[in-house]
Structure 1
Amino acid sequence: MAVWALGINHHSAPLDMRGRFAFALDQIAPTLQGLRTSLTGAGRLHNGVETAILSTCNRTEIYCAADMPALDHTVHWLAHSGGISTDLLRSHSYLLQDGHVARHAFRVASGLDSMVLGEAQILGQMKNAVRAAEDAGALGRTLNQLFQRSFAVAKQVRSSTEIGAHSISMAAAAVRLASQLFEDLSRTRVLFVGAGEMIELVATHFAARNPRQITIANRTQERGEKLAAQFGASTMRLADLPEHLHEYDAVISCTASSLPIIGLGAVESALKKRRHRPIFMVDLAVPRDIEAEVKDLGDVYLYTVDDLASVVRTGQAQRQAAVEQAEVIIDSGVQSFMHWLDQRRPEGGSVSLIRDLHAQADTWRALEIARAKKLLARGENIDQVLEALSRGITQKMLHGTMAELHKGDAEQRAQTADTVSRLFLRSSRPPASEQEPSAVPGTKKL
């Protein structure tokens, strides 16, 4: 069994490229189906290929498992889905196999590969990705083991180390930057665009500073009202946002929209109405919610998830000891997973033999059925055809066994007979080794 992963993240690819490969949660199932169909049609894999996709603002990663790897085909598929060349994707991505996949997945789940070192949100996102793969019927035994072990390692890392201590979240970083622009956040009006988990986190941090007004603008009114109720905030229809944008000093956006929802023209109009009083804007969405050109406006302070990197890295040195402890836990987890994986490979267990037995039995069955169909087509008696069918299958199954029972000396034949009895004679009779030797074909009573 081969395991491989292809991904891009905040270390390997710029924001706009990551946006090309961002998949909303409701897109995961059809995307997985398309990937599996593509891999199966590549002529290399069987219908049981396993797939899962993890897509967040910082990364998009494809995890696969099958009898044989299809690394190049996976790269071609992802490049095509994002509308770029395979060479360009290769220059901004990472391709991992077997133990390297496990190590990467364990580090991601533990928060070691995040922009915010030790952050816990990625673990929930990973669990959502696994749930989506399960619902799509794309998750098999191997990937399920990989992810369940990832969750167990992450739990051990968080309970045994201080990896999350001293960390600064994206939400806290946004508030810190806003407080550098505005002397008193309690006098500001804040607009949140979206109502997902990230917006809820940022709104919680801003609400602690008691801003003058908080408004939630969301595509789904019910969800927006539910979030607004937590903070005593007002709500706004997303369609009304351009008309009221000038009323707000800070705008934080994070939606699943595939296109920007706040354009350059809307912000320019808002600045004129504000008489060029500054606007603080944070775009936490991938792909972007706010057009990139907005950043060039003189009175706008626009930050993306990548712009926040220098802020959230504060405290990195203090957590280095915890990182080293976490890596030791991850090393142990990788060894355990690879041992489990090796047991499923031909050189490490009986999986190959079982697969070959099934294949041999299917071949025999297909041959006898084809022969039976020919006899029936010639008008042969159906009872006689069925008799010949059953006899043909039985003879094929027993031929090798009968031959082995006649090989070797008396002791070898007795051992073979004992094995054959246990495999084929499912009754209360004692093993052949406990019977009279004369009962075994090809032996003589001493």
Structure 2
Amino acid sequence: MSSVFALGLNHNSAPLDLRGRFAFSLEQLAPTLLGLREQLSRRQAQSQPEAALVSTCNRTELYVAGAPALVKPTIAWLAEVGGVGSDALMNHAYVMEGGAAARHAFRVASGLDSMVLGEPQILGQLKQAVREADQAGTLGTTLHQLFQRSFSVAKEVRSSTEIGAHSISMAAASVRLASQLFEDLSKIKVLFVGAGEMIELVATHFAARTPRHMAVANRTLERGEKLAGRLGAEAIRLAELPQRLHEFDAVISCTASSLPLIGLGAVERALKTRRHKPMFMVDLAVPRDIEQEVAQLDDVYLYTVDDLSVVVQSAGEKRQAAVQQAEAIVEAGVQSFVHWLDQRHTVPLIQALNQQTEDWRAAEIARARKLLAKGEDVDTVLEALSRGLTQKMLHGSLAELHASEGEQRLQLAQTLSRLFLRSSSKPVSGESGESGEEH
């Protein structure tokens, strides 16, 4: 019996360096999928397994539809691709099967599993991954259903909840406030001062909105360059700040400096050069990175860590309600997909039963026509036809019943009673009276 499973590692389960070993460019997706499928086809000779690969800066995930026995060889293949051992990979990876795999896919598509909760970028990346798998010929009916349902769930989450509308962190709040000042964040230039964990998180939030330009200024240029490289941003020296400040519409700072790095005079000069075009500034540092007096300037919108705390707290309850609503939508989608998957497992049996009964019917019709051609009485021929059909349909079941013993025979008798005596109120020996009810 085939199933669907997901194998992956993400920003929660694996460090950046390890994720980097399993990063695939768009051009690499198709050949990588074909390589995996070729490897797995040797294990599943009956049919070729389906496969899709999602690779972003925060996650690499393989979705496979095939026999459950393919999980281990898939892990081994991915570990080999990344140049690590299977055990080392599984220390930071996760495997989910059936409904759990569907739940994960739906949560990913809805932005519930993202570093930036509710961000829409991952949905576009998922759709691109599906297109690549489809073009490579590795996307079959099961994965097609999984992903189309994930897109529908994501759309419902986006349209009927406020999952993307409320801030839940300092970083998300920074973006939220910036979007209130600037009509389109994709048209602004953003400067990040510092390269620590908080700036990295804020930068990730802003990067999801694809600003026109981003720059990272840090005391240690090497660390600044590392973060800038991941963001596709420019790295500048901290000493360049006074000369470059006027270029940026938004400035977010969080360093460990004991003294302010951005003074009133520097901001005043920047505003003059900008002809008083507004500047959005966020100071997440304690003590301050930006002099307190800057907040008094007419064309500067400066927020401190305390200001953002108020925004986060006011949005927290609404966001929690939105998350719960989104999870409920996801769960409904999972149940629907699992039901569809279960039905698919019975399709070959249904097809085989239909074919068998069609063969019986054709044989009895052919025999009846021969008898009629010989001049046999019509009623006699119809009687023979009906007896022939019923005997063929009951033969296998009765033969199994006669050949079975003990508990097996009792269970088989109960099954046959449910199948063939559904309208009868009279139970067979050993059954309760419930066997004749409709279910």
Q: TM-score, normalised by structure 1?
A: 0.54
Cα displacement (A) at 1:436: 3.9
Aligned match of 2:380: 437
Cα displacement (A) at 1:277: 8.3
Shift in CA distance, 171/344, structure 1 to aligned 2, threshold 3 Å = same
Cα displacement (A) at 1:35: 0.6
Cα displacement (A) at 1:318: 4.0
Cα displacement (A) at 1:18: 0.8
Query: RMSD value over aligned CA atoms?
Result: 5.1
Matching residue within 336, 348, 364 for 1:351: 348
Separation of aligned partners in 2, 1:172 and 1:100? 31
Contact 2:5 2:63 in 1 (8 A): yes
Separation of aligned partners in 2, 1:443 and 1:201? 71
Aligned match of 1:334: 334
Aligned match of 2:138: 138
Amino acid at match of 2:96: L
Aligned match of 1:14: 15
Alignment of 1:31-430 (within 5 A): 31-41=32-42, 43-167=43-167, 201-204=209-212, 252-254=228-230, 318-345=318-345, 349-352=346-349, 354=351, 417=361, 421=365
Separation of aligned partners in 2, 1:8 and 1:25? 18
Amino acid at match of 2:9: I
Separation of aligned partners in 2, 1:155 and 1:325? 13
Amino acid at match of 1:114: S
Separation of aligned partners in 1, 2:174 and 2:21? 25
Contact 2:4 2:65 in 1 (8 A): yes
Shift in CA distance, 21/436, structure 1 to aligned 2, threshold 3 Å = same
Q: Secondary structure at the match of 1:113?
A: coil
Amino acid at match of 1:56: T
Shift in CA distance, 330/440, structure 1 to aligned 2, threshold 3 Å = same
Aligned match of 2:24: 23
Cα displacement (A) at 1:344: 1.1
- Consecutive unaligned residues in structure 2, runs of 5 or more: 179-187, 194-205, 216-220, 246-254, 256-260, 262-304, 388-439
Shift in CA distance, 5/277, structure 1 to aligned 2, threshold 3 Å = same
Cα displacement (A) at 1:165: 1.1
Question: 1:176-219: per-residue Cα shift (whole Å, max 9, x none)?
Answer: 99xxxxxxx999799xxxxxxx869342486xxxxxxx9xxxxx
- Consecutive unaligned residues in structure 1, runs of 5 or more: 178-184, 191-197, 207-213, 215-244, 281-294, 296-300, 302-309, 359-396, 402-415
Contact 1:45 1:68 in 2 (8 A): no
Q: Secondary structure at the match of 1:70?
A: helix
Question: 1:299-319: per-residue Cα shift (whole Å, max 9, x none)?
Answer: xx9xxxxxxxx9999555541
Cα displacement (A) at 1:443: 8.4
Cα displacement (A) at 1:131: 0.5
Q: Secondary structure at the match of 2:63?
A: strand
**Identity rate of aligned residues, in percent?**
45
Separation of aligned partners in 2, 1:325 and 1:276? 44
Contact 1:172 1:205 in 2 (8 A): no
Cα displacement (A) at 1:25: 0.8
Contact 1:172 1:202 in 2 (8 A): no
Cα displacement (A) at 1:276: 10
Contact 2:117 2:164 in 1 (8 A): yes
Separation of aligned partners in 1, 2:98 and 2:208? 37
Ranges of 4+ aligned residues in structure 1 off by more than 3 Å: 44-47, 167-177, 185-190, 198-202, 248-256, 274-280, 310-318, 352-358, 416-422, 434-437, 439-444
Q: Secondary structure at the match of 2:52?
A: strand
Q: Secondary structure at the match of 2:108?
A: helix
Q: Secondary structure at the match of 2:65?
A: strand
Shift in CA distance, 276/149, structure 1 to aligned 2, threshold 3 Å = closer
Contact 2:364 2:385 in 1 (8 A): no
Q: TM-score, normalised by structure 2?
A: 0.54
Question: 1:23-74: per-residue Cα shift (whole Å, max 9, x none)?
Answer: 1111100000111011112x23544210000111111100000144411111
Separation of aligned partners in 2, 1:169 and 1:352? 55
Aligned match of 2:6: 5
Amino acid at match of 1:148: Q
Question: 1:366-419: per-residue Cα shift (whole Å, max 9, x none)?
Answer: xxxxxxxxxxxxxxxxxxxxxxxxxxxxxxx99x96xxxxxxxxxxxxxx6589
Cα displacement (A) at 1:356: 9.8
Amino acid at match of 1:143: L
Question: 1:94-125: per-residue Cα shift (whole Å, max 9, x none)?
Answer: 10000001101111111100111111111111
Cα displacement (A) at 1:275: 8.1
Contact 1:8 1:60 in 2 (8 A): yes
Amino acid at match of 2:74: T
Separation of aligned partners in 2, 1:332 and 1:13? 29
Amino acid at match of 1:437: T
Separation of aligned partners in 2, 1:101 and 1:189? 37
Amino acid at match of 1:203: P
Aligned match of 2:395: none
Separation of aligned partners in 2, 1:61 and 1:70? 15
Separation of aligned partners in 2, 1:354 and 1:442? 24
Aligned match of 2:419: none
Separation of aligned partners in 1, 2:228 and 2:144? 36
Amino acid at match of 2:347: S
Cα displacement (A) at 1:154: 0.6
Contact 1:5 1:96 in 2 (8 A): yes
Shift in CA distance, 421/23, structure 1 to aligned 2, threshold 3 Å = farther
Amino acid at match of 2:51: T
Q: Secondary structure at the match of 1:320?
A: helix
Shift in CA distance, 166/355, structure 1 to aligned 2, threshold 3 Å = same
Question: How many residues were matched structurally?
Answer: 293
Cα displacement (A) at 1:11: 1.0
Contact 1:4 1:95 in 2 (8 A): yes
Amino acid at match of 1:102: A
Separation of aligned partners in 2, 1:108 and 1:34? 25
Cα displacement (A) at 1:440: 7.4
